[in-house]
Amino acid sequence: MTALIIPPVTADAPVPPRAPARYRFGAPLWLLVLAALCAATAAIPLVYLVVRTTEAGLTELFDTLVRPRVLQLTVNTVLLAVAVTLSTLVLGTIGAWILTRIRLPFQRTLLLVSALPLAVPSYLAAYGWLVWFPHLHGFGASWFVMTMVCTPYVTLPVAAALRGASADLESVARTLGRGPLRAFVAATWPQIRPAAIAGALLVCLYSLSDFGLVSMLRFQTLTWGINAAYGASFDRNQAALLALVLVVLALVVVAGERRSRRQVGSIPGRSTMPARAPGKAGVVYVAVLLAAPLAGVVVPVVGLLSRLLEAETLRAIDVPRLLEAIGATLGLALAAAVVSVLVALPIAALAARYRGRLVAVIEAVGFLGHALPGIVVGLSLVFFALAAVPMFYQTSVVLVFAYVVLFMPRAIGSVRSGIAAVPASLSDVSRMLGLSPFQTWLRVTARLALPGIAIGALLVAISAMKELPATLLLRPTGVSTLATELWSRTALFEFGAAAPYAAALVLVAMVPAVLLSGIRGTAKEN
């Protein structure tokens, strides 16, 4: 027997795959401890809420829970959340299908326009509708406006999934005798289902946590009940209990969202389905697509402008008060952005470079604020501040802390991807050239991750400017932000007096948004 051995590796052998940008070894202890401490701050409201409600004793807890009032609020909340989730799921999926499968003119513009409702806080949309129809209230109105505001949460991910989904399967199903709708359901829907469900659950979370819209449209949900019970200060235990119920609902939804997000898989195949010409149905398609932006943005903004430009309103503007509110809004947002990024940095650095169970837990705790409704964080921090740090009660410190807890997840997300985009080999090179880990962090990692860090800060700033329920509960006496002024005037049906604040809020929130698009643009060029 003779063997002819071909050498296994020759000069032109394929290059081995690059090492991943993560380290294979455990994180340094100091980073773990620091990140754990930062993440722990996010857990304070939830932990304190649980402690506070269980202090009263389990029997009292149960007695309060089965009061008809509590049950009614819970049913209302769930009803609204489920109804909005279903309607956005249908409307959003159809919109996404139109965006990706129909050859419409100005497609990029249409995509942008259909994302617009995301920029409008829900209470602003409610205000806009109330300007036109002051008697609007109850379940139907809340359902309608909330659906219009939330639809993009489904449209955008489903459109992205549809663009990435293999269209071959649908063609195969058609050749095997299915009609267009049945082919879509059999072949394409399973591919976009994870994205659709994740988006829908996000909508569900949003409508569970919403306070401004339902309170302006006078539909009594848990958030409304919490605020009312807190206002009637003789029954703060009930406020805490309602908050706990709400948190449990929210956590269930978030757990579902996390699970659905993990199931996203991909099937190989051509992703682009030949887009169909719209034909006579084109008008219908565009109408469906534009329903949400029209109802969620155009109607409220036009209503706002019509009120703002009335001579009576213009004469009655209290300029110093408006400027004060703008200043307070900007200052609080800036503080929230800076502190959130500082707290998010260790968590993001850890999550971007290391893996392991402990790292995953720390990151998940940092993301807790994502699941916590603003009113819950606000209420819990009222209790916490009174009990633990009374000197900070009714100061901006506690309010900024609430913003940090609520919006840290946004900061962690973008800072983390900013750091993960810096190759770990650059840190290696820097260490080998004599720089300490800290110097390496400053001169290489943080320097290169700067766009991601800035994006995180701006996202927090935008969210903090629009935040309403926690701000209402925690703002220092005498301090008003644009959001709280808008809310309190609308609550008194002073739509004209509310208009300047609404307009100022839209304009002020645009500043970080413009900065954001600038940073994203340059980050892409690099």
- DSSP symbols for 328-386: HHHHHHHHHHHHHHHHHHHHHHHHHH--SHHHHHHHHHHTHHHHS-HHHHHHHHHHHHH
Does 429 bind another protein (CB under 8 A)? Our answer is yes
Positive or negative, the CA dihedral 254, 260, 263, 265 is: negative
> Tokens standing for 257?
């969202």
Cβ 441 to another protein shortest distance, Å = 13
| Of the candidate residues 68, 279, 320, 434, the single one contacting another protein (CB under 8 A) | 434
Does 54 bind another protein (CB under 8 A)? Our answer is no
Does 29 bind another protein (CB under 8 A)? Our answer is no
Cβ 348 to another protein shortest distance, Å = 19
Does 442 bind another protein (CB under 8 A)? Our answer is no
Of 20 and 68, the one with the shorter C-beta distance to another protein is 20
Contact 146, 215 (CB under 8 A): no
Q: Tell me which residues in 328-357 interact with another protein (CB under 8 A).
A: none
Piece in contact with another protein (CB under 8 A), picked from 30-38, 199-207, 231-239, 434-442: 434-442
| Of the candidate residues 164, 256, 282, 423, the single one contacting another protein (CB under 8 A) | 423
Does 20 bind another protein (CB under 8 A)? Our answer is no
Distance CA 426, CA 510 (A): 36
| Of the candidate residues 317, 435, 515, 519, the single one contacting another protein (CB under 8 A) | 435
Piece in contact with another protein (CB under 8 A), picked from 13-21, 283-291, 399-407, 456-464: 13-21
Cβ 416 to another protein shortest distance, Å = 19
Distance CA 118, CA 120 (A): 6
Cβ 448 to another protein shortest distance, Å = 6
Distance CA 269, CA 188 (A): 12
Distance CA 398, CA 392 (A): 6
Of 419 and 462, the one with the shorter C-beta distance to another protein is 419
- Other beta carbons within 10 angstroms of residue 456's beta carbon come to 29
Of 74 and 445, the one with the shorter C-beta distance to another protein is 445
Piece in contact with another protein (CB under 8 A), picked from 17-25, 62-70, 180-188, 250-258: 17-25
| Of the candidate residues 107, 263, 266, 425, the single one contacting another protein (CB under 8 A) | 425
Size of the site for another protein (CB under 8 A): 36
Does 426 bind another protein (CB under 8 A)? Our answer is yes
Piece in contact with another protein (CB under 8 A), picked from 61-69, 238-246, 383-391, 441-449: 441-449
- Other beta carbons within 10 angstroms of residue 20's beta carbon come to 9
Burial of 352 (0-12, 13-18, 19+ CB in 10 A): buried
Does 522 bind another protein (CB under 8 A)? Our answer is no
Distance CA 132, CA 301 (A): 11
Distance CA 230, CA 163 (A): 47
Does 438 bind another protein (CB under 8 A)? Our answer is no
| Of the candidate residues 104, 431, 511, 519, the single one contacting another protein (CB under 8 A) | 431
Does 25 bind another protein (CB under 8 A)? Our answer is yes
Contact 152, 118 (CB under 8 A): yes
Contact 193, 185 (CB under 8 A): no
Distance CA 174, CA 181 (A): 10
Phi/psi at 160 (nearest 5 deg)? Answer: -65, -40
| Of the candidate residues 262, 277, 433, 477, the single one contacting another protein (CB under 8 A) | 433
Of 430 and 480, the one with the shorter C-beta distance to another protein is 430
Phi/psi at 291 (nearest 5 deg)? Answer: -55, -50
Does 186 bind another protein (CB under 8 A)? Our answer is no
| Of the candidate residues 234, 280, 432, 521, the single one contacting another protein (CB under 8 A) | 432
| Of the candidate residues 428, 493, 514, 520, the single one contacting another protein (CB under 8 A) | 428
Q: Tell me which residues in 444-463 interact with another protein (CB under 8 A).
A: 444, 447-448
Q: Residue 179 is inside which H or E element, if any?
A: none
Q: Which residue's structure tokens are 């837990």?
A: 361
Distance CA 425, CA 409 (A): 27
Does 359 bind another protein (CB under 8 A)? Our answer is no
Distance CA 436, CA 94 (A): 54
Contact 143, 246 (CB under 8 A): no
Does 11 bind another protein (CB under 8 A)? Our answer is yes
Site residues for another protein per CB under 8 A: 1-13, 15-16, 18-19, 24-25, 423, 425-426, 428-437, 444, 447-448, 526
